[in-house]
């Protein structure tokens, strides 16, 4: 992300959150999140936005955590565009389109459903995006696996559901300038 910023692109972080779901419904929650994002980024309105704002790439990160109420899944989308203002315009448009699609799907829309903010520094952004996957966190996959290995039956069931729901799904997906960065 540092090289993307150094090349003059603006970076904006968009977060999409839907209501938590009980255990046993994680695959449904992930499918809903991915469907909402794909719909928001499809069609000629998005193509016009991409061209007008100079969207040069995106980085999508799937976050799943477990809470006492159940699964809390959300997506982070880092948008890189030709400059800071264009990136802000693109992010705000995506937020409005996501909210519209959530309402159309009958999902609860709250002030926390979507959020958009400028990425302050690439280092802080990377730390934020990797936060739910810290080994010491009991709600992370690593923490759940550790608890399951110690005999915690609930952690084992939760870890199994998480493993099955994430099977074959990338935690992170890059496009455009974020792919070029990997090659540097």
The per-residue pLDDT for 137 is 75
Torsion sign (Cα): 88, 72, 68, 134:
negative
Domain spanning 2-125, CATH class: alpha beta
Distances (CA, A) of 35 to 99, 105, 107: 13, 10, 13
What is the pTM for the complete model shown? 0.85
Query: In sequence order, what are the beta bridge partners of 10?
Result: 81
**3-class DSSP assignment, residue 2:** helix
| CA 86 – CA 163 distance, rounded (Å) | 38
Q: CB 152: neighbour CB atoms within 10 A? A: 15
The per-residue pLDDT for 28 is 92
Sequential pLDDT tens for the chain (184 residues): 778 888 888 999 999 988 888 999 999 999 999 999 999 999 999 999 999 999 999 999 998 888 888 888 889 999 999 998 999 999 999 999 999 998 999 988 876 788 888 887 878 888 888 776 666 677 778 888 889 999 999 999 999 999 999 999 888 899 999 887 555 4
> Which segments of the chain does DSSP mark as H helices, in order?
2-6, 26-40, 43-53, 84-104, 122-130, 141-149, 153-166, 177-183
Locate the domains of the chain by residue range: 2-125
Distances (CA, A) of 131 to 1, 19, 166: 16, 20, 17
Under 8 Å between Cβ of 69 and 37: no
The per-residue pLDDT for 184 is 47
Q: DSSP per residue over 78-111, as a string?
A: EEEESSHHHHHHHHHHHHHHHHHHHHHTT----T
The per-residue pLDDT for 26 is 93
């Amino acid at each position: 992300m540092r090289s993307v910023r150094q090349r003059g692109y603006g970076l904006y972080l968009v977060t999409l959150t839907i209501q938590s779901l009980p255990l046993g419904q994680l695959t449904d929650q992930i499918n809903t999140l991915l469907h909402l994002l794909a719909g928001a980024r499809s069609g000629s309105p998005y193509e016009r936005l991409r061209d007008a704002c100079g969207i040069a790439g995106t980085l999508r990160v799937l976050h799943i955590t477990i809470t006492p109420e159940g699964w809390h899944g959300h997506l982070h989308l880092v948008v890189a565009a030709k400059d800071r203002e264009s990136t802000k315009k693109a992010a705000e448009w995506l937020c409005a389109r996501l909210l519209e699609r959530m309402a159309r799907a009958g999902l609860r829309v709250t002030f926390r459903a979507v959020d958009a903010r400028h990425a302050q520094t690439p280092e802080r952004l990377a730390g934020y995006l990797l936060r739910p996957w810290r080994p010491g966190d009991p709600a992370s996959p690593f923490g759940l696996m550790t608890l399951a290995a110690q005999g915690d039956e609930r952690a084992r069931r939760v870890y199994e559901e998480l493993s099955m729901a994430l099977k074959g799904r990338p935690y992170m997906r890059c496009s455009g300038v974020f792919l070029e960065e990997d090659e540097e």
